[in-house]
Structure 1
Amino acid sequence: MTDHVTQAYLDDESVHGVMGRLDLPPHLEAAYGHRLVGRPFFLDEHTAHSVAADMMDFFELLFTLPKKMFDGSFTRFADALGIPPAEAALMGSDRPPMHGRADIYRVGDDFRLLEINAGSSLGGPDLGELARAIHENPGFQPFVQEHDLRFFNPVEKLLDAVGRDRTIAFLEEGGMLARFAKGFAGIKEACARLGVDVLLGELDELTERNGHLYLHGTKLDVVVRYFSAKQAVGKADVLAKGHKTELYTPFSSYLYGDKSTLALLSEHREKLTDDEKALVDRLLPWTRYLRDVPRDEVRGNRENLIVKASGEFAGTGIHPGWLMTDKEWAQLLDDVEKQPYVVQERVRPTPDVVPGDDRPWLTVWGWFVTDSGFAGMSIRSMPFEDGAVVSYAGNGLTRVSGLLVY
């Protein structure tokens, strides 16, 4: 079902060219200007907050998994997720702040969860700046005012959570800062527009002095972590010594963004209360550890299943059965048999319409949430014919847009 604002947009040809007339900041233009969807997206604010509230409840449920399913043992919990002991040792047992992005398909009037991304190492927060540029476009103002459109900025919500009066560094590792240079430049640019000058660097550039971490000689109050526990194992000593510098988010976030947590919730329903079962059933497709499902069952149901690497990101390790031959599917299952993978029921999303393009479009709605609730949206979309992995970094055919709420 198309909401009334989307339908009004599609019916009004005078506003169809807004995406080609945006005045984007330079780094945002460099990162996304060549890969924009030919339309904005719209959602009523009640639904934005309602789905975010469900996601916050879902995160709270994830935080109970060690106690609910492993007698409070984080060692057993990490082992069940396939996390190596050296990485698990960094994660500890602290409850992390609620900060994440839920990747969701719209199915009619409902929304179905594909995966949870927990922690601060999230792609797409600067798409709030894209929403701002759409909202402020002079030629789009009559439509904005007629429908009372607004936007939420994930970068702004991140700075609110971290604290704007602190010295902040966004840190990567292993050359990833250079690989994603355009994206980080866009985030830095967005922070500067909001009055916060953040630093960028990599983990191996850190030094420690008197309990504080330093980057290029500047003492840091907080590190916004984009590096993983795996990348940090060799730097555990300097991080431990620099304990007076906050790590946002802590490594414990990693325990809850692993796709295996979804298999735990989907498979062990007997551990859940009635309200928790209702929440999981409302949001989550059937999901299992691949190793726990009979091979013949997975092989025979290729058209309706997708296989995903548990701990990967940016579209890595995702294999839609319906786009593979029987032979390719069987070979994949043999190849990943003993690796940490999950298998999930195929979700068939409602196609989206892009003016001037007759093809149906496949859209992932990335709901950002913090402890304060709904924190904005990452919209990624592409024609169905271009595949099934809608990932800006992982699929060069993926495009982006901004969300306006009404």
Structure 2
Amino acid sequence: MMTITAACVTDAYIRNEKLAQAVELTRFPAELERCWGPRMLNRPLFTRTSELQQTSSDLGDLFGLLAALPERLFNGDTAAYCAAIGIGEKRLAMIEKFSSGPPLLFGRADLYNDETGFKILEFNLSSKLGGMDMCEFQSSLLRNPDFATFASRYELRYTHTGERIAHALRVASASITDGRTPRVGVVCAPGEMAVHERMVASFAGTMRRVGVEITIGELGRLSSSHGTLRLNDAPIDVAFRFFSMGDVLMHPEAMKQAELLFRAHHDGVAVLWTPMNYALVSNKGTLALVSAAADSALLSTDERAVIDRLVPWTRILDDDLIDYCRRHREELVLKPLHGAAGVGVTAGWACDERRWTAALRDASAASVPNELDVADRWVVQRRIVPRVETVVDPFTATVQDWVAAWSVFLTPEGDAGAFARVAPASSSPVIGYSINPDVRMAGVFSIGAAR
């Protein structure tokens, strides 16, 4: 039996005239339209189910490695580990004070898919994530009769991220809720509601449609009375953390409110999703550490195989690497260790030698922790050339080459759905939604039955 490839399904989708306006004619939830509508791609993306399953499995194994790094590479010396990846003393103190137990797997991996498979760029292990609502793209598109017929023919499937998150929150809060559905509060940093309102509202809509009621508010709206944590005066069992450690350090008043939340978590009154010790694993420096460890005897054969399949060569930049990086400019990308959304990234192949040398010089300069208590360090990573995705311009009907940054969500049970950010191949080398106006959002379907 011939294996149906993603390229084959893409070609069939594009040639099917009934699907030319399928996305445009699909009625999406109002919150999703408001958040992403003008920047949705006019088609979904496709990958083999077996390929996505292998990647999700590898990501789970990688998470286990990251969580074990302080013990395996630093003999349990968390302070030395934090120093290696640029986490300052204030952050370490907060981690140690307000964390209990090892972090559970929850987050989003951002990847490129080259000709050998998926390769990770970043592992965002946190609950402050974008795209958790994008599963509505797939569920809505399947209500289009023509697409539903197409999906049946090619055995297209997807994982509903909202359903997987709802299950994870039910399990995490079981000791508090005694079997009922948890009451969830999405807690933002002071002043951040206006910034994230559309994204959070769309996520809340997704969760309500899977049976989980959501209250949205900022840290300053938290209170506690009679053994119950409240947000906007509404009782909550789970505080879905949509603020970072830096947000708390920037606002002294926020720290007081955060401590209220941390105590509630510690006392078993409410669940903090996710705890502060996620900062130990959600850091580009951790990928550099496991990449370097793969060249040693510290990892097993199976662990090295996971790194080989999933993690491109990545190192924390130091003086010993400068000459190598200069010689291999077109093969490397330079990233701020604590950066996000593509901000501050320098792609060696997209700049001249003078600019690259200057970027390396600035990145290798000695630094001390800033006001957010992170040292301004950098990682250098091997360039991954993503495979081309075919997109038809809806206005001119011309065929264009685009490239995708794939995002795979994971919960403690594994795969929790995927979406992609997609941009023209001729666009910026960084596929960042907030910094590149050409970037579009797309739902992801996998092809073929699950193993």
Question: Match for 1:158: what amino acid?
Answer: I
Q: Is the 8 A contact 1:118 1:253 kept in 2?
A: yes
Please tell me whether the aligned partners of residues 333 and 383 of structure 2 are also in contact (alpha carbons under 8 angstroms). yes
Match of 2:194 in 1: 178
Q: Is the 8 A contact 1:125 1:153 kept in 2?
A: no
Contact 1:303 1:322 in 2 (8 A): yes
Indicate if the aligned counterparts of 2:184 and 2:238 stay in contact, CA closer than 8 A.
yes
Distance 1:292 1:147, change over 3 A: same
Structure 1 position 364 matched with structure 2 position 374 = no
Cα offset, 1:99, TM superposition? 0.8
* Amino acid paired to 1:289: I
After superposition, what is the alpha-carbon deviation per residue over 1:133-186, rounded to whole angstroms, capped at 9, x for unaligned?
112223322212222322212122111101271110111214222112111111
Aligned to 2:378: 341
**Alignment partners' CA distance in 1, 2:77 and 2:431:** 35
Q: Deviations over 1:41-61 (max 9, x none)?
A: 122322222210111011111
- Distance in 2 separating the partners of 1:333 and 1:208: 49
Write the distance in 2 (CA, Å) between the matches of 1:169 and 1:393.
Answer: 26
Structure 1 segments unaligned to the other structure (5+ residues): none
- Per the TM alignment, residue 209 of structure 1 is displaced from its structure 2 partner at its CA by 3.5
Match of 2:273 among 248, 254, 257: 248
* 1:16 corresponds to which of 20, 41, 53: 20
Q: Percent identity?
A: 32
Contact 1:135–1:150 at 8 Å: present in 2 too?
no
Kept in 1: contact 2:120–2:311 (CA 8 A): yes
Match of 2:30 among 26, 31, 38: 26
**Mapping 1:65-104, distance limit 5 Å:** 65-92=69-96, 94-104=101-111
| Counterpart residue number, 2:260 | 238
Matching residue of 1:229: 245
CA distance in 2, matches of 1:210, 1:221: 14
Does the 8 Å CA contact 2:133/2:202 hold for their aligned counterparts? yes
Q: Distance in 2 between matches of 1:289 and 1:34?
A: 38
Which residue of the other structure, out of 417, 426, 441, is the alignment partner of 1:376? 417
Counterpart secondary structure, 2:110 = strand
Shift of 1:11: 3.0
Q: Is 1:277 matched up with 2:323?
A: no
Relative to the length of structure 1, the TM-score reads 0.94
What corresponds to 1:200 in structure 2? 216
Match of 2:351 in 1: 324
Q: Does residue 345 of structure 2 align to residue 310 of structure 1? A: no
Q: Does 1:106 align with 2:113?
A: yes
* Alignment-mate amino acid for residue 31 of structure 1: C
**Amino acid of the residue matched to residue 245 of structure 2?**
A
User: What's 1:56 paired with?
Assistant: 60
Contact 1:390 1:398 in 2 (8 A): yes
**Contact map agreement 2:185 2:215 (CA 8 A) in 1:** yes
Partner of 1:267: 292
One-letter identity of the residue aligned with 1:263 = A
Which residue number corresponds to residue 167 of structure 2? 160
Question: Contact 1:315 / 1:395 at 8 angstroms: preserved in 2?
Answer: no
| Structure 1 CA distance for aligned equivalents of residues 434 and 423 of structure 2 | 13
Paired with 1:333 and 1:255, the residues of 2 have a C-alpha distance of 26
Structure 2 residue 353 is the aligned partner of structure 1 residue 298: no
The separation in 1 between residues aligned to 2:137 and 2:95, in whole angstroms, is 34
Aligned residue type for 1:229: M
Consecutive unaligned residues of structure 2, counting only runs of 5 or more, are 171-179, 367-375
Q: Deviations over 1:4-53 (max 9, x none)?
A: 32232133233122121110111111111111112111223222222101
Q: How many residue pairs were aligned?
A: 406
Q: Deviations over 1:196-233 (max 9, x none)?
A: 22011122322234554321212221111121112224
Q: Distance in 2 between matches of 1:238 and 1:368?
A: 29
Contact persistence 2:6–2:48 (CA under 8 A): no
User: Which secondary structure state, in structure 2, belongs to the residue aligned with residue 365 of structure 1?
Assistant: strand
The whole-number CA distance in structure 2 between the counterparts of 1:228 and 1:238 is: 16
Alpha-carbon separation, structure 2, partners of 1:293 and 1:384: 33
Correspondence for 1:43: 47
Counterpart of 2:446, as a letter, is V
Q: Deviations over 1:77-113 (max 9, x none)?
A: 2221111111122223631111111111111251111
Query: Is contact 1:168-1:224 (8 Å) kept?
Result: yes
CA distance in 1, matches of 2:360, 2:49: 42
Q: How does the TM-score come out when normalised to structure 2?
A: 0.85
Where 1:267 maps in the other structure, the secondary structure is helix
Counterpart CA distance in 2 for 1:387 and 1:318 is 11
Contact (CA 8 Å) 2:6, 2:46: kept in 1 or not?
no
**Cα separation, partners in 2 of 1:293 and 1:368, compared to 1, 3 Å:** farther
> Per-residue CA shift, 1:280-307, capped at 9, x if unaligned?
1111111000125432322232211111
Matches within 5 A, 1:115-130: 115-130=122-137
Secondary structure of 2:107's counterpart equals strand
Moved more, 200-209 or 371-380: 200-209
Q: Does residue 143 in structure 1 map to residue 150 in structure 2?
A: yes
Which residue of 195, 200, 203 maps to 1:187?
A: 203
